[in-house]
A and B are shown apart, each in its own frame.
Chain A
């Protein structure tokens, strides 16, 4: 084999440059939305410092021996579960969710760490030599690994992050090669549970739908009946839990499922976000010239709504450039996942892709008003140290994987 000393062989600019550009766009958006805000003026500098730390973390992760990730999968997972428990006991409540652990003035969200740890734990489990993804046992254990953090995060409650986990688990199942029937088995109880919370009519429709699907798959009667039984009981269980919650928590779930229920709260932000982006036009109003942004009508715009600053001040062209950068990053990671022959690394890679992707879809969908308001940040762009650090750490894993990819072919 010819040894290529070209730097491009060791370092994937296709991963690194998009992240750098996105971070740059984020800084512009954060600067613009905080420059006139006395209470948030330091956020720009803070993000810059976090950025530097995050890029250092990236390079450290990049240089680690690749087999390190697999060996730390289980310990990391256990630690993150402990942190998630700790946050429930002594976490700090910020905007309704008890999701922050504070160390002096510095706080972080254990759920961010849990994302990576859970991906690695599932990847480690599914890449066992004798694993069979369509076996009842493997599905159940994977779900147990995945849903332990989900449950803890739901208790914070942080619906958005919990949703990210669910999607990531499903995509990893899918990548591993789950059959469509098994996928259906995994999905149906959750589907019925969500429908049950919406109301009795939805509950019944969902049950009928599951019965219909069971007929299509034509498995043996006992198995079909037990799937139906699990679905039915999960529906009742969801309803029981829902009614056991305090009215305040119920309201949070309602507004999550139906944002129109609270038009003055989160609905108001969506309207203003849409106005900001729409009024940006083709070229935008210019940096620091967006009146929607400068008049600070979206509270904490530099976090989950940072993309509207780009939409308003850099217009359609700026918004599309950001989307295209994301697109190149996603396709790059997908290619990497596909080409990596080691199952563990390939699963980790696809898990990371799904984290980025689901954040991207939910955040942009929310900002442009086609998805309900679910407060999760846009990777690399939104203000926030934990999110940026973990995003860059995950990117470091991918870059590492690229560096040593030839060892696994």
Chain B
């Protein structure tokens, strides 16, 4: 039932009046604010605004296995320009103060045009303190210019580790668009090596501080006394498997050579030292990197940026003889009483030379003396595909899965490979070379180091890695990272026989007797990788001590010739340096610091 009063015209008119008067009041207020008092508000708007200042987190530092600092942070000044407030007529003055080429600032700003003009652009990192002092004096005439203190990498341990540690680089627009919640333009991110692999663990979380700034962009105070500020969260510190002493010696040994070295703790797969030579100075990448320096690094024919330890592939040479020996012994094709008489060579289709006449040799003495004839024969007994199966068990032909970004798998040929290459009637004589690790087989130094680890540690190890774990930034607890177990399943007898041969290489009448040490029983094997483009490459693989091996090593020296002359002595020194770190108080220091960290 509708009453008279319901929704009456009078009541409608009252609501109508309320609506109209509201609109009039609001419009009047807007007119007053936006037209009459506009200038006053305009001034306030430019005079008084809040800016959020990013607080950079500390990047996690790198320790070696005994908690010695390898990579740390140092404060440095970064000059920035906020395009919205900046006057480009200042380019000239700034460029002369910074000592850069003309047009440098323009190109930096141009590059960042895709981002908001209210975001400061980092013009130059690592500027001199004198520049900062000059800026402080003249800041009033430099609108839109400021500087911040940022942390830069520095390397206090005196080791280079360039290919392992890696460096950081300004984030690319592509990565930025993928991870925009984590980064901002101008941020530095890990570009290669550990810095890249572990970026998310070590990068930390940014903080923000809110400050009030006036129209000249001078700070006039903190917003809400900093109550809204968010403190940055430090990145986690990494504990590397490196041992600083061994790494330092390895780098020194390679000062004037080209090649690579990988040393691994056999039981754990922890990489104790890794070198790729020539290397480069990471300090040059930590600060501002001049263009001509970059050009020279990129165009260097020796390619210093290339990580030879994981990326270079060569035939393994005689270091591969143990593989054939293990395959034959494990399959039960031969035992130690099976012998070959070496008269200086072997005929299969054509004549294959040995480097001497070794007389009657069994598997142990064949390894000791590196008799080619023995292994030429042996490979035919094993058969190509069986041989490949064992090579695969020891990790060849596949990437190892090391926690560094760049790695290649190398090549282990099989029947199909040769059929594809040479047709169904491929010459079986090609196989002879494989027995001594020559021909179409290629491996990386890292793979060889893993292979020796497996021989040394009863056919078991873990995926090789350079980072053992990290120290949680919040709890300060050490958190170990897990790595996959590798088990070849090869019989202990086969490994023991081969180890005996390797023992005699150094401590009997073998090819590396010159590196024999009175107090450490080094086992090893020399090798020479044939190089069609020049002088041969020298290999040495080994482990020590004979009982309970603590270190396995692979050394490659490029273009020098025979392995025992060049590669073996380097291995010896690194083994010595590493075992040294176990002696006396050094072991105590290690435990002490480790315990401290865990509390």
Contacts and interface: CB of A to CB of B under 8 A. Distances in A.
Tell me if chain B binds chain A.
Answer: yes
A331 B23 CA distance: 12
A350 B18 CA distance: 13
> Which applies to chain B's interface (DSSP): helix, strand, loop or mixed?
helix
Nearest to A264: B224
Given A275-B44, A341-B2, A370-B29, A334 B8 contact: no
A177 B8 CA distance: 8
16 contacts: A36-B118, A38-B181, A129-B1, A177-B7, A276-B45, A277-B33, A278-B38, A278-B44, A279-B46, A295-B118, A316-B35, A319-B30, A323-B30, A324-B23, A360-B22, A368-B29
A39 B42 CA distance: 28
Contact of B34 (A315, A326, A331): A315
Contacts of A280: 34, 38
Contact of A278 (B3, B41, B51, B52): B41
Contacts of B20: 327
Given A38-B181, A291-B46, A295-B51, A175 B7 contact: yes
B180 interface: yes
A142 interface: no
Interface string B31-54: 101110110111011101111100
Interface string A178-195: 110000000000000000
Given A130-B1, A278-B37, A319-B30, A297 B50 contact: yes
Interface string A240-278: 000000000000000000000000100010000011111
Contacts, number: 140
B44 to A, nearest CB: 5
A174 B11 contact: yes
A229 interface: no
B38 A350 contact: no
B184 A38 contact: yes
Interface of B: 1-9, 11-12, 14-16, 18-20, 22-23, 25-27, 29-31, 33-35, 37-38, 40-42, 44-46, 48-52, 84, 116, 118-119, 180-181, 184, 224
Nearest to B36: A278
Given A291-B45, A334-B19, A368-B26, A278 B33 contact: yes
6 tightest CB-CB pairs across the interface, nearest first?
A278-B41, A177-B5, A279-B45, A316-B34, A278-B33, A297-B50
A323 B27 contact: yes
Interface of A: 35-36, 38-39, 41, 129-131, 133, 171, 174-179, 264, 268, 274-282, 291-292, 294-297, 311, 315-316, 319-320, 323-324, 326-327, 330-331, 334, 337-338, 341, 343, 346, 350, 353, 357, 360-361, 364-365, 368, 370
A176 B19 contact: no
A316 B30 contact: yes
A343 B41 contact: no
Given A175-B7, A368-B29, A38 B180 contact: yes
Nearest to B30: A319
B23 A323 contact: yes
B50 A279 contact: no
Contact of B19 (A129, A343, A357): A357
A131 B33 CA distance: 48
A297 B42 CA distance: 15
B12 A334 contact: yes
Contact of A279 (B12, B44, B51): B44
Given A36-B116, A275-B41, A291-B46, 15 more contacts: A38-B184, A175-B7, A177-B8, A264-B224, A274-B41, A275-B45, A280-B38, A281-B35, A295-B51, A316-B30, A316-B35, A323-B23, A338-B7, A338-B12, A368-B30
B16 A279 contact: no
A346 B184 CA distance: 54
A268 B37 CA distance: 19
A357 B18 CA distance: 10
B62 to A, nearest CB: 29
A279 B31 CA distance: 12
A141 B29 CA distance: 40
Contacts of A296: 50, 52
B38 A279 contact: yes
Nearest to A361: B22
Nearest to A365: B26
Contact of B6 (A38, A177, A370): A177
Contact of B119 (A36, A268, A276, A316): A36
B407 to A, nearest CB: 34
Contacts of B27: 320, 323
Contacts of B11: 174-175, 177
B30 A320 contact: yes
Contacts of A278: 33-34, 37-38, 40-42, 44-45
A41 B184 CA distance: 13
Contacts of B51: 295
A39 B184 CA distance: 12
Contact of B30 (A35, A277, A330): A277
A281 B30 contact: no
Contacts of A268: 224
